[in-house]
């Protein structure tokens, strides 16, 4: 059995920054608009962030002095249109956030889409692939807790008992995951344990 969990953030990664208007450190989120300046065939593009408590805005630099001829046409059209998907992609772009010295605040909520592929071999084990659609702050531990309806203590116990293999507790707890696929194995008993109720209802 092979299960794939595709994990996508809901909403934006918040950024903590001192708000000059509130005079205190506040969380900022994208306002939903880009700002663009062009000068001498060079582009500067920002995503405009705003304080969650007041109207103060702060620009996160996405590109600076980028030759107009080099920018992807589709991306350019999306920026001009303040495309929501583009704003979300940039809001989770680790390199851009780092370059702007952005301090990440909190963990965005996320959705998990589960897909099954039935295989004939290794049925004592369930292969689990966890794929992040974007590199956002989330731990694989929280994905497992959500999907398996287990506590941190229960997941830890399954790892220690060897019922979850191929990944360490340290890797599970790391929030700085990149947009790659992680693979691990679970004993079928452990995988189905919290789903028993659903099967009994079906029966
Ligand atoms: Zn403010």
Cα of 34 to ligand 1 centre, how many Å? 19
The predicted model gives 66-90 an average pLDDT of 91
Q: What digits encode the pLDDT tens for the residues 156-180?
A: 999 999 999 999 999 999 887 665 7
Cα of 20 to ligand 1 centre, how many Å? 7
How far CA 39 is from CA of 20, 130, 152, 163, in Å, comes to 29, 44, 53, 59
Full-model pTM: 0.71
Cα of 57 to ligand 1 centre, how many Å? 8
Cα of 17 to ligand 1 centre, how many Å? 9
How far CA 178 is from CA of 28, 95, 169, in Å, comes to 23, 11, 17
Cα of 172 to ligand 1 centre, how many Å? 35
CB 1 within 8 A of CB 119: yes
**pLDDT level of residue 201 (50, 70, 90 thresholds):** very low
Ranges 119-123, 144-148, 198-202: which has the least confidence: 198-202
Cα of 197 to ligand 1 centre, how many Å? 47
| Distance from the Cα of residue 199 to its chain's centroid | 31
Residues, CB within 5 angstroms of ligand 1 (ion): 19, 21-22, 26, 51, 53-54, 56
Cα of 126 to ligand 1 centre, how many Å? 48
Q: What digits encode the pLDDT tens for the residues 144-154?
A: 999 999 999 99
Distance CA 86, CA 96 (A): 13
Look at residue 196 in the predicted model and tell me its pLDDT: 56
Look at residue 200 in the predicted model and tell me its pLDDT: 46
């Amino acid at each position: 059995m092979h299960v794939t969990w595709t994990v996508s953030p809901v909403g934006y990664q918040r950024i903590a920054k001192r708000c000059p208007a509130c005079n205190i450190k506040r969380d900022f989120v994208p306002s939903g608009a880009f700002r663009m300046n062009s000068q001498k065939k060079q582009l500067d593009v920002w995503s405009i962030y705003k304080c969650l408590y007041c109207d103060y805005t702060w620009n996160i630099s996405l590109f600076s002095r980028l030759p107009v001829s080099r920018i992807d046409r589709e991306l350019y059209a999306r920026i001009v249109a303040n495309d929501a998907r583009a704003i979300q992609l940039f809001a989770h772009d680790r390199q851009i956030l780092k370059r702007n010295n952005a301090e990440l605040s909190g963990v965005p909520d996320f959705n998990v889409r589960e897909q099954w592929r039935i295989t004939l071999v290794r049925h004592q084990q369930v292969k689990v692939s966890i794929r992040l659609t974007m590199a956002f702050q989330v731990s694989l531990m929280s994905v497992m807790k959500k999907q398996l309806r287990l506590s941190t203590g229960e997941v830890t116990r399954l790892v220690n008992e060897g019922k979850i293999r191929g990944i360490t507790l340290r890797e599970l707890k790391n929030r700085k995951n990149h947009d790659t696929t992680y693979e691990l194995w679970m004993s079928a008993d452990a995988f189905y344990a919290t789903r028993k109720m659903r099967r009994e209802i079906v029966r």
